[in-house]
Structure 1
Amino acid sequence: MLYEKAPAKINLTLDVLHKRSDGFHEVEMIMTTVDLADRVWIRPSHRGITIRTSERFVPNDRKNLAYQAAELLQKRFGVTSGVEIILEKSIPVAAGLAGGSSDAAATLRGLNRLWNLQLPDEDLASLGSEIGSDVSFCVHGGTALATGRGEKIESLPAPPNCWVILAKPAISVSTADIYRHVDLSNIAHPSTQNMIDALHTGDYQKMCQSVGNALEPITMKLYPQVSILKEQMKKFGADAVLMSGSGPTVFGIVKHESRVPRIYNGLKGFCREVYAVRMIGSRHFLA
């Protein structure tokens, strides 16, 4: 049986540039991994694809991105053997943290080993882009600038060492629905370049000042719980606060560990799913 780690991601920035001819939006975002991960176990079987999961809200059929990843490799490379994929979930579902995408990426990496396909990460990431926009980043992990639909990946230095408090309200947000509400004539664009500069210089303060998410005002208007969480996280003392992806998870960046318990405990009064984890941002975390 093979094992792959599937870490969650957060968006340090997320910008929407324009509507593409294929109907998707052109995005520019900086993503990084945090120390919250699903565990993906993969073992051979005689035929078919079987998904087993610890989370009852996660589908175990073709709706599951890990299933789609296995099916794609089977069809593309003529693999006739089957596989059983066991997902031990720790990343909240439908949270803006790329849990499903990371599971799919881990499945691609694991089956690449199991079936001895010998595909480089670039090829796996290209295959991943056929499954979902975040899968390409999740194949590589670490910290990166993602452009296009999110499938064009350019590696960046890891952020300075710090803590991340994640808080997910008890709602689910449809990414497609949020993008349908995008008004390109009235959107606040974060400075991607400022964040890139902060990462290259290891400037924690500049990193905190440069976080931004063009989708955040849309999600907060549709789901006031997100706005409430963000205000509470600021109140409890996070150095920077932002919504990840299309939401609804809000994260706070904290430099000093001594401040983490106050923020964590304060947020537990507002939502059940709260996590205090380290910012990782380097590729070794996939090992």
Structure 2
Amino acid sequence: MFLRAPCKVNLTLDVFNKKEHTDVYHNLDSLVVLFGQPADELRIYIEPSNNKTSITLLCSDSRLANDNRNLAYRAADVYLKHIGEPFHVKIELDKHIPAEAGLGGGSSDAAAVLRALNIYFNHRIDQTALMAMAARLGSDVSSFLAEKPVRMRGYGEIIESLDCELPSLYGVVVRPDTGVSTAHAYALLDAIPNRQPSNGTEQLLSCIRADKDSSIDIVALLAKKLSNDFESVIFAAYPTIAKAYDMVLSAGALRALLCGSGSAVFGLARNSEHAEQLVNQLAPHFPFVSNVSTATLETFTINHI
């Protein structure tokens, strides 16, 4: 099977404090949109085994692990253990989403593996159980299984369909020559005494709901309401990311926004032509620049090979 694993952008990201110091995860509230490019590409080969299950992962990026430290490998392992039958699975992973960028590449790969295996096994695991399996793998995996814009809450296990419709979105994503580990980003937030999380997700969704029957320009509204609790600490700790943010704005984006915990920066465009203009202006200045647009049904097509 051949399929793509798209990237994501958190249009809002509210990060709440842990309930207890021993908690592993922070509670989140976020509006998550999937973009068709950049997207990783996976080729997955499955065949029955006479004795025991084996998983082989071949990755185009030699810096990434090819064992159970890789989310795509772990997704296959968890799914096959649930099935309880021996199979050989080979995954060829061609990486296009940059690592440590806040674009969810590893989580998207894991979701793609779960989708592919569930189709091969004729949806033996229902969607509710599959979403729960995804949540146990990582905080972003469930949002990729939704295949549409969603509100993500909890540590990522609560996925809610939007009660309002978003238009197709266009923009640019740049990644400076700097990565940010998710653990370090959260440590920076936790180091702020008496930090007050924002309420950007509810504010944005309330505005969209209130105006959904009017002729309001949703893109213009988004330009005013996008938010990310990580921005202040990441920009202070990583000057190159702060500079990238400023450059995206200077290029003419309606709004610049840190992607997840960084290091990539999203620039919102009016339309596809504006997005292409942003790409052309920014491409000479960054090692990674991509034109992005909202993922479509075609993005999630699985082709048999």
Q: Structure 2 vs 1, CA of residues 195 and 254 (structure 1 numbering), >3 Å: closer, same or farther? A: same
In the aligned structure 2, how far is the partner of 1:218 from the partner of 1:66?
A: 30
Q: How many angstroms does 1:286 deviate by?
A: 1.7
Q: Structure 2 vs 1, CA of residues 188 and 130 (structure 1 numbering), >3 Å: closer, same or farther? A: closer
In the aligned structure 2, how far is the partner of 1:95 from the partner of 1:237?
A: 22
How many pairs does the alignment contain? Answer: 285
1:177 maps onto 2:174 in alignment: no
Q: What are structure 1's unaligned runs of at least 5 residues?
A: none
Other-structure match for 1:238: 253
In the aligned structure 2, how far is the partner of 1:33 from the partner of 1:158?
A: 14
Residues 190 and 214 in structure 1, CA contact (< 8 A), matched pair in contact too: no
Q: Structure 2 vs 1, CA of residues 189 and 283 (structure 1 numbering), >3 Å: closer, same or farther? A: farther
Q: How many angstroms does 1:55 deviate by?
A: 2.1
Other-structure match for 2:45: 43
SS class of match (1:33): strand
Quick one: which amino acid aligns to residue 41 of structure 1? R
Instruction: Render the CA deviation track for 1:217-250: whole Å, top value 9, x for unaligned.
Output: 1111111111101101111110111001100000
Residues 125 and 139 in structure 1, CA contact (< 8 A), matched pair in contact too: yes
Task: Single out whichever of 102-111 and 216-225 deviates more from structure 2.
Answer: 216-225
Structure 1 segments, 4+ long, off by >4 Å, are: none
Q: How many angstroms does 1:273 deviate by?
A: 0.2
SS class of match (1:181): helix
Task: Single out whichever of 111-120 and 50-59 deviates more from structure 2.
Answer: 111-120
Q: Structure 2 vs 1, CA of residues 224 and 44 (structure 1 numbering), >3 Å: closer, same or farther? A: same
Residues 199 and 207 in structure 1, CA contact (< 8 A), matched pair in contact too: no
* Percent sequence identity over aligned pairs: 31
Q: How many angstroms does 1:116 deviate by?
A: 3.4
Which has the greater radius of gyration? 2
Q: What are structure 2's unaligned runs of at least 5 residues?
A: none
1:286 maps onto 2:300 in alignment: yes
Residues 11 and 227 in structure 2, CA contact (< 8 A), matched pair in contact too: yes
Instruction: Render the CA deviation track for 1:226-281: whole Å, top value 9, x for unaligned.
Output: 1101101111110111001100000001013333343212222321100012123x
Q: Structure 2 vs 1, CA of residues 283 and 140 (structure 1 numbering), >3 Å: closer, same or farther? A: farther
Give the aligned CA root-mean-square deviation in angstroms: 1.9
Residues 41 and 85 in structure 1, CA contact (< 8 A), matched pair in contact too: yes
Quick one: which amino acid aligns to residue 204 of structure 2? M
Q: How does 1:1-287 map to 2 (within 5 A)?
A: 2-21=1-20, 22-36=23-37, 37-45=39-47, 46=49, 47-156=53-162, 157-182=164-189, 183=192, 185-187=194-196, 189-200=198-209, 201=212, 203-280=218-295, 285-287=299-301
Q: Structure 2 vs 1, CA of residues 158 and 176 (structure 1 numbering), >3 Å: closer, same or farther? A: farther
Quick one: which amino acid aligns to residue 241 of structure 2? V
Residues 18 and 184 in structure 1, CA contact (< 8 A), matched pair in contact too: no
SS class of match (1:225): helix
Q: How many angstroms does 1:171 deviate by?
A: 1.6
TM-score by length of 2: 0.87
SS class of match (1:92): coil
SS class of match (1:267): helix
Q: How many angstroms does 1:199 deviate by?
A: 4.7
Task: Single out whichever of 201-210 and 64-73 deviates more from structure 2.
Answer: 201-210
